[in-house]
Amino acid sequence: MSAVETLEEPVAESGKGYWSGVGARLMRDPLTLLCMSVILLLILSAVFAPWLGLADPYKGSMIARLKPIGTPGHILGTDEQGRDMLARLIYGGRLTLFIGLTPVVLAFFIGGTLGIVAGYAGGWVNTLIMRTVDVFFAFPSVLLAIAISGALGAGIVNSLVSLTIVFIPPLTRVAEAVTSGVRALDYIDAARASGANALTVIRVHVIGNVLSPIFVYATSLTSVCMILAAGLSFLGIGVRPPEPEWGLMLNTLRSAIYVNPWLSALPGLMIFITSLCLNLLSDGVRSAMNVRD
Amino acid sequence: MFSYFLRRVILMLPVAFGVSVICFMLVQIAPGDPLTAIMPVDATADEQAAMRAVYGLDKPLPVQYAIWIGNLAQGDMGRSIASGRPVAGEVFGAVNNSLLLAFSAAVIAFPIGIFLGFLAGYFRDSWIDRVVTAISIAGVSVPNYWLGIVLVIIFSVNLGWLPSMGAGPGGSQDWSWDWLHMRHLVLPAVTLAVVPIGIVARTVRALAGDLLTQDFVQALYAKGMSRGDVLRHVARNAAATALSVMGLQLGYLLGGSILIETVFNWPGSGFLLSNAIFQRDLPLLQGTILVLALFFVGMNLIVDVAQAAIDPRIKRS
Amino acid sequence: MRQFTKGFAALALAAGLAFAQGAAAQGTLRIGMTAADIPLTTGQTDQGGEGMRFMGYTVYDSLIEWDLTSADKPSVLIPGLASEWAVDAEDKTKWTFKLREGVTFHDGSPFTSEVVVWNLDKLLDETSEQYDSRQAAQGKSRIPAVASYTAVDEYTLEIVTKEPDATLPYQLAWILMSSKAQFEALGKDWEAFAATPSGTGPWKLETFVPRERAEMVPNTDYWDEARIPKLDKMVLIPLPEPNARAAALLSGQVDWIEAPAPDTIPAMTGNGFVISSNAYPHNWTWHLSRVDGSPWNDIRVRKAANLAIDREGMGALLGGLMVPAKGFLPPSSQWFGEPTFDVRYDPEEAKALLAEAGYSVENPLKVKALISPSGSGQMLPLPMNEYIQQSLAEVGIEVEFMVVEWNQMINLWRAGAADPAVEGSESINFTYFIQDPFTGLIRHLSCDLIAPNGTNWGHYCDPEMQALFEQIKTTFDPAEQDAVLRKTHEKFVNDALFLMVTHDVAPRALSPKVKGFVQAQNWYQNFSSITME
């Protein structure tokens, strides 16, 4: 039966050989590797922040306010409440990355599932899911995030909720498109005809083929999500003070820009560097995985 | 073509309905009382209840929605709780200013983006390509609200070249296209243009690069077409996709200008929205989000139809 | 490509033409306000103290006004549209007001007692055609004493109060007079009135663009010649974001900003801008809960907390722009008196008092405090509260914060300390407008105003204090009334009824071109004496 052959072919692409190929291609891409290590370093320092011997990021001193970069004891200076900038930037990375990446991960699972279900089931299920998604698509992402966060009020959980809602629709749409495409292929029909149940077909044949494009698309959203999350805090509807978070730090250090411009530029710079690396990383992964948009 | 247009409009209606429900519900889940923003702190409970009744906030939610949507159908978006002015006037005035900003940003971003992208796609893998890619990735990665602050410090405060805020010496109402007014536009528009420059450049680069390596381009060369003719062909083929990206970007510029408008005190919809959020001004919040979302829906429709007009293959899919 | 070069040319042009546009016309003062919108223009303003300052006492007058001419002494009430007033010798609820003759509104119509009645109906009589729910929302709660009012003759007005209340003049200082003739000429429509308002004030509102700017010109026919504005024009621009305000001033787009952020002040003074500030009736306290079980019921704890804070040290955070609290009212207040409890920094004494009450650094008293990250008049609430938290920890009081947003905070303030919504918080950090006897003293601690009926958040009720409040209301001689007010304030301080921290000094940053401004010790200011160089 030719069905067997067609079954083998696309699945093989995401099999072991495919992934080692991806790995090998990544290894030959110095820029992506560099970005990967920057992100990894940020994540590691964020995770292990308490063991790095840093100053207390919450403890300030009114006398030691806004010390410039290079002050002994405060290598990156102090903020508007005299708290150590280095400690706050590293602890800030914790929260910023958490709020910047978690919504994409959540949306990847929720949106991916919705999209695959919609694409595979078709019919009214598809209509229901996709029309609902269309409604959310009617909002530009920044507007939707600000509207939901503004309605819910400031807070970490509220930011996570609003950003997750923002990124579910695009991921659902991509997942649905890819799944519908795969579903239309002959071999799925063949597998269904051979009596396999829907879940098995989805698990074995669909997910393997649709995961890479959804994953790659999701990685391209991480930098947008992080900038947006920091933007919410910057507006005052994201993380609440005194938590260290880059967007919020940018906001609270705004008035210090006249006293110590370099200092107040630091959180913005961190956001910039991180999102730059996330973007480059996403590009690298995309080309390594041979996914085209 | 017309039937396609009609079908798209009909498809849009349930979306518009969903949008109105979301807009309404969104502000209802909000904690806090819209009246606190406007009543003196000594106001008694009776006085507050009277005020609540004036704004119809004492009625059950579905009734409030029905009233809202009913009035909406008659073009009445209610009154702002904080300012007492009709929401419609406030929102359309502000959206007008936001459009001015968004279009100005587009006028800066699209030509630059297209030019850079084309350059990179044409000279793929050369140093030009790398420079353009670097510029575009930096453009997409920069938090533009931060860039705005930096530009204000440099060009307004330190150099004193450009104003840091507002929409003109006499406010937005007497806007005219002279330098006295346009100088107010420069910094916010440039700041807002940075992200779309990156996105458009990346899109155009991919399109141009792909098209140039496709077989039919080789065939065109083989047919003895000149370099210029080939380029023109390629451009037309890329136009449909580029158009959709740019249409979407225009919508995003409008919705995404919120942060920039706050930084520059630009009297647009984003500025209005952030005020409405902090004052819990429900009617204004609902109205602003609704108008922006419907504008975005309309923009998508126009893009779809225009795309179909340029490239009839799209209509069938 | 062509468009690209065009864009670039525009940018180059930007650089070239930048200096072509110089300063605005001579005699125009442009002010950056902290409000997000132009205050309500119809008479009774919104946007709190700032609204009254810029849109109230500029375009309108009240019967009785605040003297805003001196920076050195606390401001007192002076005749406004009423030239004299007195309470009836027999019936202490009956007041007679003699109105100023020959005063006209900006539309030319005369100001008479009938217009005053019309204006009071605008706020209090829901059946009147001029009743305006928006103005009523702002004005009604300001005149709780008023029961009825009649025009005796063209220039005589009679007001009857619900009970004898000597604070009526202070209440009436809130109520601004709009033009009845203008309202009627505009088809009895407040919305039309809002666009072309008419008052009797020293300034006429010429144009206004909602949320963007309002332009005022002098009323050259103003009844008080000394207060006819010298400027050609005054422009109000809402700039709620502190850094946008600073940038606007530093780049020369405005000549004056309200409330510059402390960290922007060095840049301003460094560039020749002038910082104007003065004490005024504002305070920043923790309003303490006095419900059963609150640790603040112990006077030793209250005094200890007051002694634990180094208020001078806190000044560094505010760029020195504060007056350390010595009591509930600012030390310069005419009602400060001579309290025996000296509010000062004395951690040893604080520790001793706490030890007496059974607490120490090792065994600290745990309290929960309600604070908000922002809010009008709250100064820099987060760093200031964290500073207090640290200070109190050093003497043996451990503070846990409940942080809520400003809007929510107002609701919780109205709800009171016993409401479940405050989740057992034992204090609220709420700043106050304390300009008159009612807002300054009575409303915080009066038994009949216990939340949610009024603004006595902490449920404090003390017969001795209540008697003093009664005395304030029934002492009709201003000098004697001041004496009672001093006595009342002494009790506020001696009993350490609040955690008294600091007073704002209403800083504003002015371009060196602004001349002749005298900052009164008041929430309101006089703009008539100002000129531009």
| The token pair that represents C93 in the structure block | 């609820």
User: What is the C-alpha separation between C208 and C488, in angstroms, rounded?
Assistant: 44
Please report all neighbours of B, defined by 3+ CB atom pairs within 8 A: A, C
Q: Three-state SS across B235-294?
A: HHHHHHHHHHHHHHHHHHHHHHHHHHHHHHCCCCHHHHHHHHHHHCCHHHHHHHHHHHHH
* Dihedral sign, Cα of residue A24, residue A25, residue A31, residue A33: negative
Is it the case that residue C328 has pLDDT exceeding 90? yes
In chain C, residues 7-66 whose CB comes closer than 8 Å to chain B: 7, 10-11, 13-15, 17-18, 20-21, 24, 36-37, 40, 46, 48
pLDDT in tens, B224-260: 777 777 777 666 666 777 777 778 788 888 877 888 8
Domains in chain B (CATH in brackets) are 1-74 (no CATH), 93-315 (1.10.3720.10)
pLDDT tens for C136-170 read: 888 888 898 999 999 999 999 999 999 999 999 99
The two structure tokens encoding residue A252: 């609270």
User: B65 in contact with A at a CB cutoff of 8 Å?
Assistant: no
Confirm or reject contact between C314 and chain A (CB < 8 A): yes
Domain membership of residue A1 (yes or no) is no
Dist. CA C489–CA C465, nearest whole Å = 10
Separation of alpha carbons C233 and C235, rounded Å: 7
Distance CA(A103)–CA(A163), nearest Å, equals 6
Of A223, A230, A237, the CB nearest to B277: A237
- Which whole-number Å values give the CA distances from B248 to A137, A138, A140, B243, B261, in the listed order? 11, 11, 9, 9, 20
- How does DSSP assign B16-47, residue by residue? HHHHHHHHHHHHHS--S-GGGGTS-TT--HHH
| Nearest-CB residue to A153 (from C316, C383, C405) | C405
Which of the residues B146, B207, B279 would you substitute to probe the A interface, choosing the one with the greatest number of A C-beta atoms within 10 Å?
A: B146
Question: In terms of residues, how long is chain C?
Answer: 533
Question: Is B138–A237 a contact, with Cβ atoms under 8 angstroms apart?
Answer: no
B116–chain C Cβ distance below 8 A for any pair: no
The Cα–Cα gap between C447 and C290 comes to 12
Q: Is B211 left (phi over 0), alpha (psi -120 to 50) or beta?
A: alpha
A81/C383 CB distance under 8 A: yes
CA A119 to chain centre: 24
The closest of B295, B189, B316 to B248, measured between CA atoms, is B295
Beta pairing class for C213-218 and C233-238: antiparallel
- Residue A139 and residue B255: Cβ atoms within 8 Å? yes
Residue C2 has pLDDT above 50, yes or no: no
A180 touches B: beta carbon within 8 Å: no
The answer to whether residue A243 sits within a structural domain is: yes
- Name the nearest CA neighbour of C54 among C32, C76, C69, C70: C32
Of chain B residues 56-85, which have a CB less than 8 A from chain C? 82-85
Q: Which fold has domain C28-242+508-532?
A: D-Maltodextrin-Binding Protein; domain 2 (3.40.190)
Residue B18 to chain C, least CA–CA distance (Å) = 29
Is the CATH number of domain C282-504 3.10.105.10?
A: yes
Chain CA centroid to CA A185, Å? 31
> With contact defined as beta carbons under 8 Å apart, do C235 and C256 qualify?
no
Report the pLDDT value the prediction gives residue C33, as an integer from 0 to 100: 92
Residue C247 binned pLDDT confidence (cut-offs 50, 70, 90): confident
Give the start-to-end residue ranges of the domains of chain C. 28-242+508-532, 282-504
What separation in angstroms does the CA of A102 have from each of A94, A99, A234, B210, C475?
12, 6, 19, 34, 65
**Euclidean distance between CA atoms B171 and B271, whole angstroms:** 14
Average pLDDT over residues C329-333: 93
Q: Which of B27, B33, B41, B54 to mutate to test the interface with C (most CBs of C within 10 A)?
A: B41
Please tell me if residue C251 touches chain B, with a CB cutoff of 8 Å.
yes
Q: Does residue C383 sit at the A interface (CB-CB below 8 Å)?
A: yes
| Average pLDDT value for residue range C253-262 | 90
Burial class (CB in 10 A: 0-12, 13-18, 19+), B246: buried
Instruction: Name the residue facing B115 among C1, C14, C408 (closest C-beta).
Output: C1
For C101-130, write each residue's pLDDT tens digit. 999 999 999 999 999 999 999 999 989 999
For B147-166, b/e burial (b = at least 16 CB within 10 A) is bbbbbbbebbbeeebbbbbb
Partners of residue C11 in chain B, C-beta under 8 Å: 186, 190
CA distances to B53, B119, B130, B248, C336 from B242, rounded to whole Å, are 51, 15, 21, 10, 72
C439 touches chain B (CB under 8 A): yes
How much is the pTM? 0.83
Q: Rounded CA gap, C341 and C335, in Å?
A: 16
Predicted pLDDT of residue B89: 87
| Overall size of chain A counted in residues | 293
Rg (CA), chain A: 23
**Residues of A whose CB is below 8 A from B15:** 131, 134-135, 138
B163: left (phi over 0), alpha (psi -120 to 50) or beta: beta
CA B57/CA B65 separation, integer angstroms: 11
The verdict on B149 touching C (C-beta cutoff 8 Å) is: yes
In angstroms, rounded to a whole number, what is the distance separating the alpha carbons of residues B304 and A219?
A: 27
Q: Residue C361: what residue type?
A: V
Across the interface, do A255 and C264 touch by the CB < 8 Å criterion?
yes
Interface contact flag, A140 B30, Cβ < 8 Å: no
Which chains reach chain C with 3 or more Cβ–Cβ distances below 8 angstroms? A, B
Task: Check pLDDT > 60 for residue C22.
Answer: no
Residue A169 is part of which domain span? 29-289
Are C21 and B83 in contact (CB < 8 Å)?
no
Best mutation target among B17, B144, B149, B245 (most A Cβ atoms within 10 Å) is: B149
User: What is the average per-residue pLDDT within C243-271?
Assistant: 88
Contact A254 C243 (CB under 8 A): yes
A140 with B289: Cβ contact below 8 A: no
Q: C390-419 pLDDT, tens per residue?
A: 899 999 999 988 888 777 788 888 889 999
Spatial neighbors of C355 by CB under 8 A, at least 6 apart, are none
Burial B177-215, CB ≥16 within 10 A → b, else e: eebebbbbbbbbbbbbbbbbbbbbbbbbbbbbbbbbeee
Mutation for testing the C interface, residue in A245, A254, A260 having most C CBs under 10 Å: A254
Q: Flag whether residue A18 sits within 8 Å of chain B, measured between CB atoms.
A: no
Q: Dihedral sign, CA of B306, B309, B310, B315?
A: positive
132-171 in C: which are within 8 Å (CB) of B? 133-134, 136-138, 140-142
Cα–Cα distance for residue pair A145/B292, rounded to 1 Å: 13
- Check CB contact under 8 Å for B277 and A148: no
The domain total for chain A is 1
| pLDDT values of chain A reduced to their tens digit, one per residue, 293 residues | 333 333 333 443 445 667 777 778 877 788 888 988 998 998 898 888 888 878 888 877 766 778 888 888 888 888 877 888 999 999 999 889 999 899 999 999 999 999 989 988 888 998 899 888 888 888 888 888 888 888 887 888 999 999 999 999 999 998 988 888 877 776 667 777 777 777 777 677 777 777 888 888 888 888 889 999 988 988 888 887 778 899 989 888 887 877 788 888 899 999 999 999 998 888 888 888 765 54
Give chain B's count of helices (H) and strands (E). 12, 0
Which chain C residues are closer than 8 Å to A63 by Cβ? 316
Interface test with B, best of C28, C33, C125, C253 (most B CBs within 10 A): C253
The alpha carbon torsion through A14, A19, A25, A26 (nearest 10 deg) reads 120
* B216 in A contact zone (CB under 8 Å): no
Q: Is the pLDDT of residue C17 over 80?
A: no
A·B CB contacts under 8 A: 130
Nearest-by-Cβ selection for B171 from C136, C213, C247: C213
Query: H or E element: which one contains C370?
Result: strand C365-371
pLDDT digit string (tens) for chain B, length 317 residues: 678 788 888 878 888 888 888 888 877 776 666 676 667 767 777 777 777 777 777 788 888 888 888 888 888 888 888 788 888 888 988 888 898 999 999 999 989 998 998 888 888 888 888 888 888 888 888 888 889 988 888 888 888 888 887 777 777 777 778 888 888 899 999 999 998 999 888 888 887 777 766 666 677 777 777 777 777 766 666 677 777 777 878 888 887 788 888 888 888 888 888 888 877 788 888 888 888 888 888 888 888 787 777 766 555 44
Quote the pLDDT of residue C257: 94
> Could you tell me if A148 lies within 8 Å of chain B, comparing CB atoms?
yes
| Residue A17 forms part of a structural domain | no
Which helix (H) or strand (E) covers residue C437, if one does? helix C437-437
The answer to whether the bond into C452 is cis (omega within 30° of 0) is: yes
**Does residue A94 belong to any structural domain of this protein?**
yes
Cβ–Cβ below 8 Å for C246 and A65 = no
- The residue in chain C having the minimum alpha-carbon distance to the alpha carbon of residue A264 is C263
Interface of B with A in 288-307 (CB under 8 A): 289, 292-294, 296-297, 300
Residues of chain A in contact with residue B13, where contact means CB-CB under 8 angstroms, are: none
Mean pLDDT of the region C65-83: 92
Backbone phi and psi for residue C465, each to the nearest 5 degrees, phi listed first: -65, -40
Q: How far is B216 from chain C (nearest CA, A)?
A: 26
Q: Write the CATH number for A77.
A: 1.10.3720.10
Task: Decide if C51 contacts C39 (C-beta within 8 A).
Answer: yes
Nearest CA in chain A to B195: A224
**How high is the pLDDT of residue A149?**
87
Q: SS3 letters for B60-86?
A: CHHHHHHHHHHHHHCCCCCECCCCCCE
Do C496 and C286 touch, CB atoms closer than 8 A?
no
> b vs e for A266-279, b when ≥16 Cβ sit within 10 Å of the residue's Cβ?
bbbebbbebbbbbb
Looking at the domain assignment, is residue A245 inside a domain? Answer: yes
A255–C243 CB contact, under 8 Å: yes
Which amino acid is located at C404 in the chain?
V
Q: What is the percent of chain C with per-residue pLDDT over 70, rounded to a whole number?
A: 95
Task: Please state the rounded mean pLDDT for residues C444-448.
Answer: 92
ipTM comes to 0.81
pLDDT of the residue at C88: 93
In a domain, A5, yes or no: no
Pick from A138, A234, A276: which is nearest to B293 by CB? A138
The more confidently predicted of residues C16 and C88 is C88
Q: Return d(Cα B37, Cα C422) in angstroms, integer.
A: 19
Compare CB distances from B258 to A139, A146, A261 and report the shortest one's residue.
A146
Is A268 domain-assigned?
A: yes
Q: How many Å separate Cα A144 from the centre of its chain?
A: 17
Out of A231, A280, A283, name the one closest to residue B143 (CB). A231
A–C interface: beta-carbon pairs under 8 A: 46
Please report the pLDDT score of residue B315 as a whole number: 52
* Cα–Cα distance for residue pair C123/C143, rounded to 1 Å: 10
Residue A4 in domain = no
pLDDT of residue C4: 38
- Distance of CA C488 to CAs B288, C82, C335, Å? 50, 29, 9
